[in-house]
Structure 1
Amino acid sequence: MVLEKVLIFFIFLGPLVFFHELGHFFFARLFGVRVEVFSIGFGPKIFSFKKGDTQYAISLIPLGGYVKMFGDDPLSEKELTAEEEKVAYTKKGKWARFWIVFGGPLANFILAFFIYFALVSVGEKVPQTKFGVIPQESILYKAGIRTGDVLKQINQQEIVSFDDLNMIDTDVKAIEVQRQDKTIRVPIEMKGMEFITKFSEVSGPLRAPLLVNSEGKMFFVKELNSKSSSLEEILKSDSSQLELIDISKEEVSLQFNPESLNLDSKSSQVISRQEQSWEEAFKEAKLYPKDLLIKNIQASSPAAEANFQAGSIIVGIEGRRIFSFNELKSTIQNLGEEKPITLTLLNSKGTETTSKITPRYREHNGQKFLSVGVESGISFYSIMIETQSKGVLSSISKAYYRTLDGTVKTFLGFKKLITGEVALKNVGGPIAIGQVASESFNISLSMFFRLMALISINLGLINLFPIPVLDGGHIVFILLEAINRGPLSRKKLMYAQQVGMSLLFLLIFVALYNDISRLF
């Protein structure tokens, strides 16, 4: 498992580093600079070969790369011959040096564009544009939109993926949604940005239609002779009968796609209700949503001290029966302080027990919250759809807007970090990137390459930061040189490089510290 994640990380990061360094290499050769080393990775070389003047290498530490150009040290006092000056980086004009430096970040933006272009032109496997839980007081609910509806059109413009929402730049007059097997047109008067904001507020994942009993058996629940739907939609169903299908725990992961199940080989039964709600009917049948199943107990937590066991089901809090883990979380957060509460648990023998437990404050990503230290066994309802391939012109347009949108959003994210709107604890390093890359790979290749494009944009923007030793810092030096009409003094360059290295190491330390903190 760990080896698989490491391999995915290398597959993910390799192209980003390669194309960044290729950008520097291309412009260096274009302007006649001799490139001595082209390396993917830092440190000792584990594989290399030489062609012409350049040594091509793969080095031990795969967290970056470098292009070593002849005469690239502005602090060097070595005298160059006339022939050497022709191929030395520092002896090239300001315009040539600008493009050599800017070539790396530029290559990252170009890579992102071509990834998006390939995805759109070939077709993608992406999550449904599905509405999450919509409260009755919501403006969307009052307009006629319901939990679980799939957004199909806005103003007669097809919506296939969440990225398509970024193309909406006009007022929203009407939308089209799919509700089970029906297509419904919903008139709605809203500004484009307002609709996108409202949609994002309720587009959180829905629970998979999975139920468990005290014995640990798991059931996939669906309407008879109908497509699958989320648990939230099942609970609001008007049907008087539902089908319960036995499935094994091995068939279920965090992202649950019912279409991956081979239902022909499964045993099933029918569950009926009379006048009660489906929630009441499930409780009566001693069936509980999978998110109430305790997956893990955190060490030294209140739950561990109370001797809670993984595999138990939380069925009540403060004498009130609950039917979702969110009910548990919201009740605990509403306490507002660390004070005792009573939880009711159902163990594997079918016996209910009550325990007094005092939630404690925890901190995660800069946010403090009350917790008892149990991890939910939740699985999310995840239906993937395959988009149709687009024509060349349409693909170019979509790829351009995706690249532009990713660049703007990434820039705004960095701005929030700098201004303190977002805590530094949200900064992730190689471990965080590796985890997200692995998760996206397991969802679909489309999501994996989408993430690669976004990280490529991040890498391009980060390298443009005006920090000495980064590409952006070198560009600032070139601009200052143009303003001063001459190179900066040796003393100023040494001081700037020292400051730049300090800032860079600080950023690396923060990212790695956050990565390690999340692990423990």
Structure 2
Amino acid sequence: MSGFFYYLAAFALVLGILVIFHEFGHYLAARWAGVKVLRFSVGFGRPLWSRRWGPDATEWAIAAFPLGGYVKMLDEREGEVAAEELHRSFNRQPVQRRMLIVAAGPAANFVLAVLIYWGLFWHGTEEFKPILGTPVSASPAAAAGLENGERVLQVGGERVQTWQEMRWVLLQRAAEQDQVELEVINAANEITIRRLDVSSVRRSGWEGDALDRLGFGLYRPRLPPVLGKINANSAADAAGLRPGDEILSIDEQLVDSWADVVRVVRQSPAKALRVEVLREGARIEKTVTPAAINEGGSEIGRIGAAVSDHGQARAALMITVSYGPWSAFHKAVVETWDKSAFTLLMIGRMITGEVSWRNISGPVTIADYAGQSARLGIDYYLKFLALVSISLGVLNLLPIPILDGGHLLYYLVEIIKRGPVSERTMEIGQQIGLTFLLMLMAFAFYNDINRLLFSG
């Protein structure tokens, strides 16, 4: 499958799962409340496929425009309702039931995130340990005295086991503090406290990757340039390279480590390279032309070969983290809550101008991340799905007309004033909400185009 279609398929699967879960939340709540559901649609516009099924002969449809979906319920405001079915009309339900039906969509997104995290934490995931590489010169990490090979034990007093945990806790601390204490341990088992200035993350408007801005790098041990697995039909395979070959030089430049091989290959897309290898004591020269691959908007070379598996190096770099079923569930709930609260905090700071609006991502960027995470493995893809599900849940609860949160706001006003909001007020609100969402979508597309044109 070509890169474009692979990324498109990964994005379509994410989008389909999120929409189905969200709308199924509305559907189940409506069924529980006794409201008749006329249509369950994935996508908007003309149905491409539909089928009637269920006790109410609900129309299940897949529509032409895929960015979203909806559940259409029996409602007197949208058409005539037979007298014998008035009690099943949405608008005839008590306000508390209407609120439950509307809130069930975003709630389903949070439930999906909890289920994903629960499964991952219970099954166990292999991740990088928080071992630091040489910090970028003149960066906050360098100023804090962090050194190559140090492992982070705690961030701001909170224990971390993986690189991603370290990153997440740092982000949370950076949202509230200018300085964070890191407890680190070196190869001699000496524990030190480093004080890291994280204020630059906020000053930058949270643009870009926070760890890159702080000068962090992942520790990379020196690995000998010996080939391991060779992908079938790859550039390395076509050149006749074999597992066990030790690369001595590329274009007459001596190679000292696997990192040298990766650097030269990435810089040489579609360029023929003369590679000298040592095979069973004999020096052999091969010509390899790295395939040109688009990554993050720039073109890199790739030959389809991995470094020879070094079990000791892998054990030193990776850790498998798993929990019992109840501990995993508790951690999943906490993870979902923390990420929801952080997302809401960032939205609030975006409104006040503390966070750059350039952080808003559109479908192109989301598709790119979906494809990248899918290539990294099922664990990364599921984590990406959970994160986007949380974002969708939070976004839909914002008090913006058209969104679920806007409807909940109307119902809250109805409870306070003991009467429904006027049709005129709702109509104006819908127009304002639609305008805001269209502006938001336009801005997201603008950011996507900027990333495509100017990244890398």
Unaligned runs of 5+ in 2: 174-179, 203-209, 235-240, 274-286, 288-296, 308-312
Note if contact 1:33-1:87 (Cα within 8 Å) is conserved in structure 2: yes
Query: Structure 1 residues 424, 284: closer, same or farther in 2, change over 3 A?
Result: closer
* Distance in structure 2 (CA, Å) of the matches to 1:514 and 1:288: 34
Note the C-alpha offset of 1:409: 1.8
CA change 1:423–1:152 in 2 (3 A) is: closer
Q: Is the 2:152–2:183 contact (alpha carbons within 8 Å) kept by the matching residues of 1?
A: no
Counterpart CA distance in 2 for 1:425 and 1:166 is 20
Question: Which residue number in structure 1 is paired with residue 421 of structure 2?
Answer: 488
Cα RMSD, aligned residues only: 4.4
- CA distance in 2: counterparts of 1:518 and 1:193, whole angstroms: 25
- Please list, as runs of the form range in 1=range in 2, the aligned pairs for 1:229-244 lying within 5 A after superposition: 230=220, 234=222, 243-244=224-225
Map 1:39-438 to 2 at 5 A: 39-45=41-47, 46-53=49-56, 54-71=58-75, 73=77, 76=78, 80=81, 82-134=83-135, 145-151=146-152, 157=159, 159-163=161-165, 174-176=183-185, 179=187, 184-188=189-193, 204-206=216-218, 230=220, 234=222, 243-245=224-226, 265-268=243-246, 291=263, 295=267, 385=318, 387-438=320-371
- For the residue of structure 1 that corresponds to 2:354, the secondary structure is coil
Closer, same or farther: CA 428–145 of 1 in aligned 2, 3 Å: closer
Give 1:81 deviation, angstroms.
5.2
Deviation at 1:496, TM superposition (A): 1.4
CA spacing shift, 1:248–1:471, aligned 2, 3 Å: same
Separation in structure 1 between the aligned mates of residue 344 and residue 105 of structure 2, nearest angstrom: 18
CA contact (8 A) 2:363 2:445 kept: yes
Offset at residue 513 of structure 1 (A): 3.3
Q: CA deviation at 1:289?
A: 7.6
- Partner SS for 2:64: strand
Cα pair distance change 1:375/1:81, threshold 3 Å: closer
The percentage of aligned residue pairs carrying the same residue is: 31
> 1:450 aligns to what?
383
TM-score for both structures, normalised by structure 2: 0.71
How far has the Cα of 1:467 moved from its partner? 1.4
User: Structure 1 regions of 5+ residues with no counterpart?
Assistant: 207-228, 235-241, 254-262, 272-280, 298-308, 313-347, 349-372
Tell me the secondary structure at the aligned position of residue 184 of structure 1. coil
Larger Rg: 1
Residues 1:243 and 1:420: Cα distance change in structure 2 (over 3 Å): same
- Higher helix proportion: 2
Task: Check the 8 A contact 2:36/2:88 in 1, yes or no.
Answer: yes
Conserved in 1, the CA contact under 8 Å of 2:349 and 2:355? yes
Match of 1:260 in 2: none
Deviations 1:418-460 (A, max 9, x none): 2233333332212211110110111121111111111001101
Partner of residue 10, structure 1? 12
User: Taking structure 1 as reference, are residues 148 and 175 closer, same or farther at Cα in structure 2, changes over 3 Å only?
Assistant: closer
CA contact (8 A) 1:133 1:147 kept: yes
Label 1:190 to 1:44 Cα distance change in 2 as closer, same or farther (>3 A): same
